[in-house]
Structure formats: structure tokens, C-alpha cells
Chains A and B, each alone.
Chain A
Amino acid sequence: MSYFIYWLFAAAFIFVISNDPLVSIQEIFWPLAFSFSLIFLIKNNERFTLAPYLLFFTISFTSLVGLTKTLTGSHAISSIPMLYGLSFYTASIAYLYKKKLLILEDIWKVSNPMMLFTGPIALFIKDIRYRGIRHRLNFYLPFVIVGLFYFKIIGAPLVSFMFLINKTDIVSSIVFASIFEVFVYANFCGLSLMIYGISGIIGYKIPLNFKQPFSANNIIEFWRGWHTSLSAVLKELFYNPLRKKVGILCTLIVVYLASAMWHGISFNFFLWGIFHAILFYITILIHRYQTLSKDFFSVTVMFIAIVFGRLFFADSNTNRLLEKLHFKFVDFSVFEIFFSVPKISLIALLIGIFFIIVEFVFKKNRYVKKRTYKHLRLPISQFIIMLIFLLLAMNFGGEYAIYGQR
């Protein structure tokens, strides 16, 4: 009953913020109907060991046949509201089934409309309403404020740089990939923090989907902070069963290819998966053999993985991506774009870079090292964030969830 109340609240919330009530009703109803059917079906076939994998790859299949879109970072309005949130609730059910935790009442958790908007994948929802509303506000409101700031002030104006995707020379490609990384982080993390905060205020604790990924020393730690709910699913479904059977490299390749297929079936995600698996493995080797200057190499590999990984991730146009992979140097004229985009976009980029630098450079600071955005939740930080928000907020840029609509 408790999770049903939360589900009702989330449905009402999605209905209110939606531009099209008819579509939002479908987006609320169909995940509920599908979740119920799926849970009912597999609960009655408990020896069906392939079920979690079939569920997890449902989104890959719909992507392959063109029913859902591959993630690109551009706005993609779903043409089939029936499949709204498919990637999230199938992953939730797969995870809970594999962990042998799935019960019929989980329907209210996995089909929660607010979490289907952009994640996190509903691994758990804890009722914390026994905490007073004042306590919950004091703790969770700062997450909402930080999330809104990330999403609206940093992320949204960065869409002005998206035209750079058409440039194929090496300097432009790296600049675009770096800006796109800031955009994806601000957008996805911002929305995740907002949903985390709103849920907490209502009285429900959900997974914290981002844990300061840039406060990492290497790519392994980075992934412990990025889209953590998907990482947990991948670990449960692929890493744990394979690790001792096929060795670490093969396991990593399978894990990252599975992750790539969850994002969409396309050449760029295939490259992205292989690339990350290899760099993850290289990082393990660096640490295993206690290489000299291992910290330096780990950090270097991490930034290569982040920037070049994002270069692959961003471009689903295979011809253009292949052209980029020629790494052709032309000139540095791409930097002139910083003078041609709206000033609000330039400011957003600078703030985004500053926040990432703070995460990385001050990772040993007592407020940063817990990786819960504590440094941004301090009263002084909150004051500065609110002040900047008041000064810069405007109706401009991309106000959409890049992980939504599927």
C-alpha cells in the first residue's frame, strides 16, 4: 500500500509536468500494465533462468527493430508511448528476479512513473516516512536544488554546442566530446538528483544514481559513481555469474557490450563498449603490477576513456564517426565557437567544468570524499547555487531528459 501511494504521487507529478495529458496517461498506464504482466508471468515460471536476460535485452530488441530510439543525446520524442520507460522497468524486474527478491507488489516500485522518466532503475525503494517532514526537507531539499542547477543552469544551455557533432577533425571532435560529456553529466545527474531529492521529501529513499563520478582516481572508480543503478544490474546479471568462469577480460567485454546494447543497437555503442572494457582492463593491469606512476597512468587512462568514450557514444552516424576516427588534424579554429554561441551557454560550460574540477581536485576534502555532493549541499554552497540560479535561469536550451523517452 505504501509504495502504491508513492506510485500515485509520481503519476500525478508526471501528469502535471507533461505537455500532453493524453500521452502522459499512456506513459503511466502501459508501464504499469506491462510490469504487472511480466512479473505475473515470470513469478509463475521460477525456473526460467533466461528470463532476466530476455527482460534486460528487450530494449535492445526494440532498438534493433526501430521501435525505440538509440540514445544520442539529442531530443527524441517517443513515437510509441506504449513503450515509455521500457529500458528501466525491464532492467528493474530482471535485477529483482535474479536476486530472487521479486514479489508481485513490486509492480508499484518498478513502474513508478517518476523513476521511468530518466531512471534510476528501481533496485529498491525504502519507506522513510517515519522521519519527520522537516528532517526530510533539510536533508533532501539540497539534492533537489543541486539537481535543478545541474539540469537547468549547466546542462540546458549546452545544446548550443551540439552543432559541433558535424565537425570531423580531431580537435573539434575532442572539444565536442568533452562538452558533450559535461552536458550528459549535467542533464542526467541533475535529473537523477532531483528525483532522488523529491522522492526523499515525499518519504521514499531510492538509489542515488550518481556519486560524484569525477571524484575518481581511475575509470573503475568513475563507473562506481556513474549511473550506479545500471552498474548494479550489470554486475548482478553479467559480472558476478561470469567473473570466475571466463576470466576478467571476457567478463568486462560482455558487461560493456551488454551495457552498450541497453543504450541501443548501433555501431558506435559497440565501439564504446569494447573501448571501455579494454581501458577498464588496462587499469586493472596498471594496479595489479604496481606500475611506476600508476596514479598518473590511471588518471590518464580515465580521461582518455571518458573523452574518447563519449566521442563514440555521441555519434550514431556511422560514416561521420568513421571519418572522425581518421583523427585528421586541420586547425584550432573550433575554439572560435566560444565567441559565437550565446553567452549563457559559455557561462554554463565554464560552471560545468568548474564543478567537475572541484569534484576531481578536491576529492580528498572531507566534504567531497563521501561522494554524495555534500560540498554542494553545504549552506554556503546552497546560497551561492541559489543566487546563481536566480541570476541565470531563463527559458533557454534543451529541457529534456536524454535518458528518457524509451
Chain B
Amino acid sequence: MRYMVNVKSAIILPMFYCFLLGYISYLIYDNNHQNIDNIKGFGLAKRSMAAEVNFDAVLLGGSNVAYSLSAQQLTLETDNFWFNFGLSSEAFTDQNYWKYIEETIDEARRSNIEFVVYSSILPLKSGHILSRKRSHQNTWGETPLGFFPSLSLAHRLKSFFNNPSNLVYQAPLARGDFNFENKECNQNYIARFEREMDEIVLQDWINSQLKDIKRIFPNARIIFVVPSEFYGDKYDREVADLMNNILKNMILSTSSDKTNYFSQPIFPSKNITCDSMLHGNLEGREWRTKLLAEFFSDI
């Protein structure tokens, strides 16, 4: 009796075939439409812009660099010519990011770089370092065609009905700076304080990043920056200070030669942040960049 096929259960199979057809169709559609935030256009525009601009100092990192540091302002406030190479999610894996940098700046130019500011949020997020190692995404966050789509159908439908023309990453301004012109910074985010607490993971990551930066920019002084954040009353100063000290010791003990460490203070107000606790708005960018410029005057 258990294996008897009745009419009710017999309809599951045709239903499944229809679902499978729909799912495969969506998988293919999703694979061909992964770049909804224009991350690729943003990165490629920076690449072509960098080929035409003179610079001897670079800003490296993820979206915290793209949003909250200004190469134009630093060029005005320091003695160097800067370019902002901040990419969304630091190109999703470390290998992707360093490959992008190597392909964007030729070896001769890289050897002339005097300063590298590397500002990463990875120590500020629990589990991010390890999850990046497992990622199969390319530099623009795209994944190869697999069993699951990069974005859910529900998410695409919601984005379509909410604001179909909103691009997160518009074409960058001069020196690779983020263009806030049509960007809505509504501070509509919930901050969650966290840190990467696994010291072995942190140390491995620091070793690997410093090694890559030194390989790519052999003559540069490296400034390892912990970016500004905003958590309001959720900020745990004790844990933040503790992790800050651990990070500083790790970095300076790994590479004290030509390496500096700079932990930027938290944003003084939510009003100068944008769409995340790690992204400054126009005002926040000016504030954070100014502090970085002041740090340079002390080196």
C-alpha cells in the first residue's frame, strides 16, 4: 500500500518538472544579470581612470574606502598624489582584490608608490575572514552558474518594484572617489557591534595581507587603517580597545619596518554616516579623510 501511486501523489511529478523548468530558467537569468549594483562598472571605470591619472599614493580596501575616504582631499592636504582603489567588499576575496590591483597598476608604477593606506573592515566582522576564503565570487561579486542563484527571486522582485533605476555604485569622480550625487544616505541601518575574536585567524590574515601589499608595492610605506564606525550605544569600547591593541601588536610585530598602524575614531554622529555603520556620507568622508591627513603630518 505504501508504494501505491494515487492521483494526488501522481501530480507531484509533473509539478516538480514545471518547477524545475522555472528554476533552471531563473538560474540562467540570474547568472546573466548579476551586476545589479554596478560594481563591475565602478571597478572598471576606476581602472581606466587610473591609467590616465598621475599618483604616488593609493587608498586600498573595500567599500569603507570607496565611501569614506577621498583621494582628492588627501591630494590637497598632503604632499602626495592619491588614488582611491576602494572596491565593493574588497573584491569579495583577497586573491581577487590583489589581482585587480596588479592588473590595474603596472609594475613600474607600483614600484614608485610611496604610501599605501589599507583600510579593511574584516577584523571588525566576526567570521568574515574565513567566509571570504570559501567564496567563489569573482572581483565583481559574480558567481559561476551553480545550483543556486546569486540573488533570490524575491529580492529581485522587491528591488524591481521599489526603485528599479537605483544604482549603488555610480561612475566614480576624479581620483576614484565615490560619487554621492544621486546617492540617498538615509542612515536606515541597524548597527551590530562585533569583532573577529579568533587571534589565529587574525594573525594569518595580517601575515597574508602584509605579504601581498609588500610584494605589489615593494617600496611603499604601509599604513594599516582600522576604519571609523558608528554603533551608537551599542559600541563596546572595552572590547574595541582590547581588539585594537591585539591588532596593533600583531601588525607591528609582523612588520615594524615601513609599516604604521592607525585606528580611526568612531564617527561622532549617525548623521555623517550613509547606508551602513562603516560608510560615511559626504560630510563623514571629509571628516575621516581629514583625520587621516593629520595622521600623515605626524609620520
Contacts and interface: CB of A to CB of B under 8 A. Distances in A.
Interface stretch (B2-10, B111-119, B170-178, B217-225): B2-10
A323 to B, nearest CB: 14
Given A152-B148, A391-B154, A393-B148, A134 B9 contact: no
A394 interface: yes
Interface stretch (B11-19, B161-169, B282-290): B11-19
A253 interface: no
A340 B130 CA distance: 21
Interface string A327-338: 000000100110
Nearest to B26: A390
A393 B5 CA distance: 30
Contact of B191 (A162, A166, A340): A340
A395 B150 contact: yes
Contact of B15 (A137, A386, A392): A386
A169 B130 CA distance: 26
A139 interface: yes
Contacts of B148: 152, 393-395
A135 interface: yes
A142 B9 CA distance: 9
A389 B192 CA distance: 29
Nearest to A131: B3
A379 B149 contact: no
Nearest to A156: B148
Contacts of B26: 390
B30 to A, nearest CB: 9
Which of B15, B19, B130, B194 has the most chain A CB atoms inside 10 A of its CB? B19
Contact of A378 (B8, B155, B234): B8
Nearest to A388: B154
A52 B126 CA distance: 42
A114 interface: no
A145 interface: yes
B152 A394 contact: yes
A141 B12 contact: yes
Instruction: Report, nearest first, the 4 A-B pairs whose CB atoms are least far apart.
Output: A394-B152, A340-B192, A340-B190, A386-B19
Interface string A119-151: 000000000000100111111011001000000
Contact of B127 (A162, A339, A379): A162
Given A162-B127, A166-B197, A394 B10 contact: no
25 contacts: A75-B134, A131-B3, A134-B5, A138-B5, A138-B10, A138-B12, A138-B13, A139-B5, A142-B12, A152-B148, A163-B192, A166-B197, A340-B191, A379-B15, A382-B15, A389-B19, A390-B23, A390-B26, A393-B23, A393-B148, A393-B153, A394-B150, A394-B152, A394-B155, A395-B150
Contacts of A75: 130, 134
A163 B12 contact: no
A393 B152 contact: yes
Interface in A87-137: 131, 134-137
